[in-house]
């Protein structure tokens, strides 16, 4: 049995919390982060739940592939391919993960610094 199935992103997927999608396909929903860290800050979440990135090693590789293909398509649809962008997936406590539902951050619209904090 899965745990933490009632996170804010579960509620977004179920429709209990409405969001304005900026990109959607069969595999993912993408919407603006409520606390943006860049001019473009979009979250991409899979419609099929995983709690965190570290679970993906035990998931069907096709599922993971479709997720990242959708993240790439979402970034393209936001016009970020040419200027560039960053994908961030925080995993667990040291990674700064706050929501226990797999999500990729798409950050763009400004020059991003490296290394991250």
Residues that bind ligand AMP (CB under 6 A): 8, 17, 33-35, 43, 90, 96-99
Cα gap 11→71, rounded to integer Å? 20
Q: Smallest distance from the beta carbon of 23 to ligand AMP, in angstroms? A: 14
Report the sign of the C-alpha dihedral through residues 49, 52, 57, 62, in that order. positive
Residue closer to ligand AMP by CB (options 82, 93) is: 93
48 vs 71: CA distance, rounded Å: 14
Closer residue to ligand AMP, CB minimum distance, 60 or 95:
95
| CB of residue 94 to ligand AMP, shortest distance in Å | 12
| Minimum CB–partner distance for residue 85 and ligand AMP (Å) | 16
User: How far apart, in whole angstroms, are the C-alpha atoms of residue 34 and residue 81?
Assistant: 23
The answer to whether the CB of 4 falls within 8 A of the CB of 49 is no
Nearer to ligand AMP, 3 or 82 (CB): 3
| Per annotation, catalytic residue among 3, 41, 103, 105 | 103
Q: From CA 81, how far away is CA 74, in angstroms rounded?
A: 10
Q: Could you confirm whether 41 is annotated as catalytic?
A: no
By annotation, the residues acting in catalysis are 103
């Amino acid at each position: 049995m899965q745990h933490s199935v009632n996170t804010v992103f579960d509620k977004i997927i179920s429709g209990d919390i409405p969001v304005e999608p900026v990109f959607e396909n069969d595999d993912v929903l993408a919407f603006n982060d409520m606390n943006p860290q860049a001019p473009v800050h979009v979250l991409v979440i899979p419609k099929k739940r995983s709690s965190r990135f570290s679970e993906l090693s035990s998931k069907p590789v096709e599922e993971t592939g479709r997720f990242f293909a959708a993240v790439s398509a979402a970034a393209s649809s936001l016009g970020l391919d040419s200027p560039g962008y960053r994908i961030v997936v925080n995993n667990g406590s040291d990674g700064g993960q706050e929501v226990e539902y797999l999500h990729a951050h798409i950050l763009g619209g400004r020059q991003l610094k490296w290394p991250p904090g």
